[in-house]
Amino acid sequence: MTAVHVPGTPAIEDGQLVSTSPATGVEAGRVPVTDPSEVAAAVERARAAGAWWAGLGFAGRRERLLRWRSLLARRIERLAQLVHDEGGKPVPDAIVEIATAIEHIDWAARNAGRVLGPRRVRSRLIVAEFSGHLEYQPYGVVGVIGPWNYPVFTPVGSAAYALAAGNAVVFKPSEYTPAAGQWLVDSFAEAVPEHPVLSAVHGLGDVGAALCRSGVDKVAFTGSTATAKKVMAACAESLTPVLLEAGGKDAMIVDSDADLDAAADACVWGALTNAGQTCIGIERVYAVEPVFDAFVGKVVERAGRLTVGADGADIGPITMPAQLDVIRRHIDDALARGGRAVLGGADAVRPPYVHPTVLVDVPADSAAVREETFGPTLTVNRVRDADEAVRLANALPYGLGGSVFGRERAVAIARRLRSGMASVNSALTFAGMSTLPFGGVGESGFGRIHGEDGLREFGRPKAITRRRARSLLPSMTFERTPGDVARLVKAVKLMYGRR
Ligand code: NDP
C-alpha cells in the first residue's frame, strides 16, 4: 500500500527526501539527501564533466541537447503526471509548462553557437591596426537553485542556457519538488550518458546555501526575494556572480479601448493558473473608470466557473502548506481595510485549496496589493486613466512582468511599466517566447534567462585584439616620441573635437 504523509510537507526518512502530493499526501517520489559537506565534492565531479562538455564545442552540445529535448517531448505526459502528483498542478497546466521548457531547450541548443561563438567585431579608426575578436566562454560549473511552483520551466530556463553555453550544472531543486528535479537529471543522463554534466543535490535550504559556497563559478537562483538576498550574501563571500530571478507582484492595466472579453480571459488565466502560484502571475489589476464595472463582471463570471480540486479541476491545491496562511492573511487584511470580495473571500481558504477570490476597491497599502500573495486571488482597482494605472503599477519595489490591454496606447503603456517584461493584449506570454530575455528589476532580481541575453548570462565575454598592421600613431609604448603624442592630440581633436 502507498504510504500517506502529511500532505505536501516534505519529510526526511533514512537519508531520503520524501516528496508528497499536497492534495492527498500520497508519496510522489524520494531522492537521497545530499549532506551539505558533500556539495563541494559534487561540484568538483561536475567540473570534470564540464571540461568534457565544453570540449564538445557548440555542435556536439547542440546534438546532445536536442536529444534531451526529444526525450522530454516524447515523455511529456509522464513528466506532467509526476509534476501533478508532486506539486498538485493540474496536468494540462503541467503540459503547458513542459512544452515551454522544451521550446527553450530547442532554442538554446540551436542558437548558442551563433550568439556565443567566436566572431570578429568591427575595429575603430583610432585602433585600426588591430582586429577585434569576441567570444563567450563557459564559466565552468553553474549552480542552479530552483523553486517548486514551476519545477520544470524554471530550472530549465537557467540550465538549458547554461548547458548550451558549455557549462556543467549542479541543480538544487526545491525540497517540495525534488522528484521532478531528479527526473530532469535522469532524463539528461539518458541523452548524455558519458559524464554527469547535469547533476542534482537534494535537501533543504542548507543544501542550497552550501551550493552557493561550494566553489561553483556562477549561481542562477530562482525563488523568493528573501532567499535571493541570502544567496547573494553567501555568493558575495567568494565574489561568485549571481543571477537572481525573484518574486513579483505583476499588474495588468485595462485601458478604455480594451477588448474586455479578451482582457477578462487573460486576466483570469494570468491570475489563477497554477492556483496563482506563478512568479509572473497577475496579482493586481488597474482598470480605468469607464470599463471597470463591465470588466469586473466578466472576470467574476469567468473565474466563478472554474473548478477546484485534486484531479481534473482547473485549480489544484496550494503546493506549500505554509502559503495558505499568507493567502488567508492577505484576504482578511484587504477586507478589514474596506476592500470587497466580489468572488470568494474570507472563507475561500479551505486547505489544501483556495477558491478563486476577486477583491475590489482594495486600499493601496494593504498586503494584498503590496506583497506577493501566491494564491488564486486578485485585486481589481478603479483608476481615472492610464497614467494613474502606470503610477500605481510602478509603486512597488517589485518589477517582474506585467500586462496591458488596450489598442491605441497599449504598447506605450507597456514600455512605461517598471518591469523586465510585459505582454500586450495577453498575459504571461513573454515567458514562452524563447527569443526574448526573461527577468526583473528591483526586488524581482537581476540578470536574464532566455533569449540571447540568457545565453550570454552563462558565458564570460572574452575579448581579444590582434595586431594586423604597424601603428601609425603609436601611443601604448614607451618608445613613442613627442611627435607621436602631438600627432595623437591632433588626431583626437580632428576625430572627436568637432561639435
Ligand atoms: P524559496 O526562496 O523559498 O526557495 C527557492 C530555492 O532556494 C529552493 O530550492 C530552496 O530550497 C532554496 N533555498 C532556501 N534557502 C536557501 C539558502 N539560504 N541558500 C540557498 N538556497 C536556499 O522560493 P520558493 O521555492 O518558495 O519559490 C517561490 C518563489 O519563487 C516566489 O517568490 C516566486 O515569485 C519566485 N519565483 C520567481 C521566478 C522568476 O523567474 N522570477 C519564477 C518562479 C518563482 P528549499 O525548497 O529546500 O528550502
As a whole number, mean pLDDT of residues 220-248 equals 98
**pLDDT tens string 169-212:** 999 999 999 999 999 999 999 999 999 999 999 999 999 999 99
- Grid coordinates belonging to 213: 559556497
H-run or E-run covering 421: none
Long-range pairs for 467-471: beta carbons < 8 A, 24 or more residues apart: 467/129, 467/130, 468/129, 468/130, 468/131, 469/128, 469/129, 470/129, 471/129
Distance from the CA of 155 to the center of ligand 1, in angstroms?
11
- With b for 16 or more beta-carbon neighbours within 10 A and e for fewer, the 151-187 pattern comes to bbbbbbbbbbbbbbbbbbbbbbbbbbbbbbbbbbbeb
**pLDDT at residue 213 in the model:** 97
Q: Please give the distance, rounded to the nearest whole angstrom, from the Cα atom of residue 123 to the centre of ligand 1.
A: 44
> CA–CA separation, 52 vs 47, rounded Å?
9
* 469 pLDDT higher than 70: yes
Mutation choice for ligand 1 from 104, 144, 227, 428, CB with most ligand atoms inside 8 A: 227
Mean residue pLDDT across the chain: 97
pLDDT given for residue 353 in this prediction: 98
pLDDT (tens digit per residue) in 323-346 = 999 999 999 999 999 999 999 999
| Residue 1 DSSP SS3 | coil
In this prediction the pTM is 0.96
* pLDDT for res 4: 58
Q: What is the pLDDT of residue 2?
A: 52
Half-sphere exposure in the Cβ direction for 354 (13 Å, CA): 33
With contact defined as beta carbons under 8 Å apart, do 262 and 294 qualify?
Answer: no
- Which ligand 1 atom is the nearest neighbour of the CA of 173? 9
What distance in Å separates the CA atoms of residue 219 and residue 171, rounded to the nearest whole number? 10
- Asked if residue 1 has pLDDT above 70, the reply is no
Percent of the chain exceeding pLDDT 90 equals 97
pLDDT band at 3 (very low <50, low <70, confident <90, very high): low
Q: Compute the distance from residue 203 Cα to the ligand 1 centre, in Å.
A: 13
Q: CB–CB of 355/344 below 8 Å?
A: yes
For 471, phi and psi rounded to 5 degrees? -75, 130
**Catalytic (active site) residue 245:** yes
Closest C-alpha residue for ligand 1 atom 41: 245
Residue to mutate, 153, 222, 278, ligand 1, most ligand atoms under 8 Å from C-beta: 222
Residues 391-402 have a mean pLDDT of 98
Expressed in angstroms and rounded, the spacing between residue 411 Cα and the centre of ligand 1 is: 32
